Amino acid sequence: MITLYHYTNKNNVDRILLEGLIPLSRYANFTDLRRDVIYCWLSPDDQKIFSDDDVCLEVLVDEVNCIIAEMDYISFAMMYKYGGKKFGGKNVPINQEASDLFVKLYEVTAQPIWNYEKDNYFTPEVLVKGAVKPGNIKIYIR
């Protein structure tokens, strides 16, 4: 088992602590790697995009269910697919070929978490397949 960190809006915390974390397929239209997963981080400080309404949860998961990938690659894929301003970034023009290349880079560099070596990625995200039971979740306190 491995301890990871998941951020959520504070309005979701009570429900999550009661029901657990349910996998989502958000952005699965880019790659199947992102289908039915929970997005987590190796460290609570790895989350780069957050708001004052977010709460960090500590989750205990089986590392067999974890793939680690470079979040920056999928972020670049999204920027090129939709144009950068939509995501608050640079004014990147829509370019489907560039988006597809970043998706491919994301896929071919993703690996099981046990193969990951510290600092292999700029922004390592952990994709956890399957649900996380409420007993394996607690509010992270610094």
Segments making up each domain of the chain, as ranges: 2-70+111-139
- pTM summary value: 0.87
39, 42, 46, 51: CA torsion to nearest 10: 50
Q: 44 and 140 in contact (C-beta within 8 Å)? A: yes
* Residue 78 pLDDT level (bands cut at 50, 70, 90): confident
Portion of the chain with pLDDT greater than 70, in percent? 92
* Residue 88 pLDDT level (bands cut at 50, 70, 90): low
Whether the predicted pLDDT of 9 surpasses 70: yes
Whether the predicted pLDDT of 25 surpasses 80: no
State the distance between the two ends of the chain, measured CA to CA, in whole angstroms: 21
What class does CATH assign to 2-70+111-139?
A: alpha beta
